[in-house]
Structure 1
Amino acid sequence: MPLAHSVLANVMDPEVPVVSVVDLGIVRGLSWREGHLHVLITPTYSGCPATEVIETSIRDALVQSGFVSTQVEQRLDPAWTTDWITDEGREKLKAYGISPPVGSADKRSLTAEKPVVLCPICDSKNTLQISEFGSTACKALYRCNDCLEPFDYFKCI
């Protein structure tokens, strides 16, 4: 299903429009079931307000590309993790001004020291968390103490 995958690689996340649903690891699988293209997705978190928009965008993009019979299934188990963001997705986040997640979403990260978050603008390690929550619940607000710019950090979850 290379064509379907490439179509989905162009479906952008509505909250961060430079990364696709493939870049974020939201698309978990593609298969044919009883004559339908079946798309398995896992939202970034169960309460994500963009989930319905993402499902509709996936369906619309596939239908416009000739996949007229599609089914989108949302599965919450296993829970989405920032470990599923592709390397390309991480680079796109940084280029957009969002510091990508540092480390792994392993449970040990909950008790470990806070990560060193690089400024996506100047690559400085001299950054400070301003707020646990940034523009969305999955991001924290930071400020670079060198270039003085505020930026979002995509939390490791």
Structure 2
Amino acid sequence: MLSPDEVYGVLNTVMDPEVPVISVVELGIVRDVAIQNDAVTITITPTYSGCPAMREIEADIRTALVARGVHDVNVKLVLSPAWTTDWIGPDAREKLRAYGIAPPGRAEPQGLITLTRSRVAVQCPFCGSNDTRLQSEFGSTACKAIHVCNSCRQPFDEFKAL
């Protein structure tokens, strides 16, 4: 049987299917690892309700652990507390930037209601310029927006702060 640290090590090899440069651990969706007898229970929180990648992530977690000899794998989905981009660590944010995705800024405080989304300049992951413009709130996935850098003219995704 694997130890909790070894399970986390395995989970660090399970990449997010929509952003394959960061693991599900780095993304912050793995909330807990519990081992009882020969069963391993992984508790995860979806990035947002209805995220289409969650079933694939669950399957990838099971596949990775079974490959390491764990045959009784349970993946438990919890919705509270709600996932926030604040759970993405600094190393993962740098991986996003290096991959060409602007990492998210700080999430708005819970309970704050605004009629319009205030935006600070999103730094271009390619040239570092803050002279960028929002092209579309809707990117390649629901958790991303499309921007264009006015300096280097590159389009890029921004991982939205949630």
* TM-score, structure 2 as length reference: 0.91
Matches within 5 A, 1:67-78: 67-78=70-81
Displacement of 1:106 after TM fit? 1.8
Query: What residue in structure 2 maps to residue 142 of structure 1?
Result: 147
> What's the Cα RMSD here?
1.5
Counterpart of 2:48 (choices 45, 53, 57) is 45
Q: Take 1:139 and 1:19, find their aligned partners in 2: how far apart are those partners?
A: 15
Query: What residue in structure 1 maps to residue 132 of structure 2?
Result: 127
Is the 8 Å Cα contact of residues 38 and 70 (structure 2) preserved in structure 1?
A: no
| 1:109 to 1:141, Cα distance in 2 relative to 1, 3 A | farther
Is the 8 Å Cα contact of residues 24 and 89 (structure 1) preserved in structure 2?
A: yes
Is the 8 Å Cα contact of residues 37 and 70 (structure 1) preserved in structure 2?
A: yes
Counterpart of 1:9 (choices 8, 12, 36) is 12
- Give % identity: 52
Q: Take 1:85 and 1:108, find their aligned partners in 2: how far apart are those partners?
A: 21
* TM-score, structure 1 as length reference: 0.94
Unaligned runs of 5+ in 1: none
- Alignment size in residue pairs: 157
